[in-house]
Amino acid sequence: MSPLVKARDLNLRDGLSFDFESGVTSFRNTRLLLFDADAMGLLRQGVYEQVGWDAARRIFFRFGFQHGFSDFLQIELSHTFDSELELLASGPVMHTWQGLVRAQPTEIDFDRDTGRFHFTGDWLNSYEAQQYLTFNEPSSTPVCWSLTGYATGWCSAFFGRPLLAVESRCVGMGHDTCGWLIRPEATFGADEDALREAIRDLRPKVNGEAA
């Protein structure tokens, strides 16, 4: 029987595989691509300039959702955690190991029977906020679209119900740190309708949930 794992014990290096002959780098049999942050920032800015703010936000939120969803499946299958709480908390650990952001949870509270879910935390050194400010003046709204998408995908896969992550503050707006808030999708108002629609076709992946 595999030893029980706590979130802090996760180490991305343990599951990485580099195969020079095939040109494939993978994590737990899922192929990974290594890109320079500046190149990703240029891509993000180019998409924004070509399709506009709203469409770019949807695109990168979807991208993040798929990333977080896939990561959850890999971690759940490859590790046996000490508790459900540790499994959930391993999401921010993975986010941190990937170099995207330093994720620090502050509050975790959930109940599968009642559908209650509340998860908050701080993001430090968000690559997305840093890249946004490289090309733009501070924004009036949050800019870490793929990070919130990742958190939405990871937590929705974990909970088996539609959840939504939003930023409560953002370095891209001039704040000192970014902050996240994750709750059931239905508890958010119409302001988040665009994000709901952006991932509607991806939702059936979450524990067989119907569209």
Label residues 155-179 b or e (16+ Cβ within 10 Å = b): bbbbbebbbbbbbebbbbbeeebbb
Mean pLDDT calculated for residue range 102-126: 97
Question: Of the ranges 83-87, 156-160, 205-209, which one carries the lowest mean pLDDT score?
Answer: 205-209
Element (H, E) at 80: none
CB atoms within 10 A of CB 125: 15
Whether the CB-CB separation of 75 and 88 falls below 8 Å is answered with no
Instruction: Give the pTM.
Output: 0.90
Of 122, 144, 148, 124, the closest CA to residue 133 belongs to 144
Which domains are present in the chain? 7-205 (3.30.1380.20)
Q: What is the pLDDT of residues 161-178, one digit of tens each?
A: 999 999 999 999 999 999
φ and ψ of 33, to 5 deg: -125, 130
CA 116 to CA 132: how far, in whole Å?
Answer: 34
Mean pLDDT calculated for residue range 70-85: 90
From residue 194, give the alpha-carbon distance in Å to each of 59, 141, 183: 11, 14, 16
Of 66, 64, 74, 60, the closest CA to residue 26 belongs to 74
CA 155 to CA 163: how far, in whole Å?
Answer: 7
Q: What is the pLDDT of residues 4-23, one digit of tens each?
A: 778 888 777 777 888 888 99
For residue 24, give every residue at least 6 positions away whose Cβ sits within 8 Å of its Cβ, in sequence order, or none: 31
Tokens 């909970």 sit on residue:
159
Tokens of 155: 């937590």
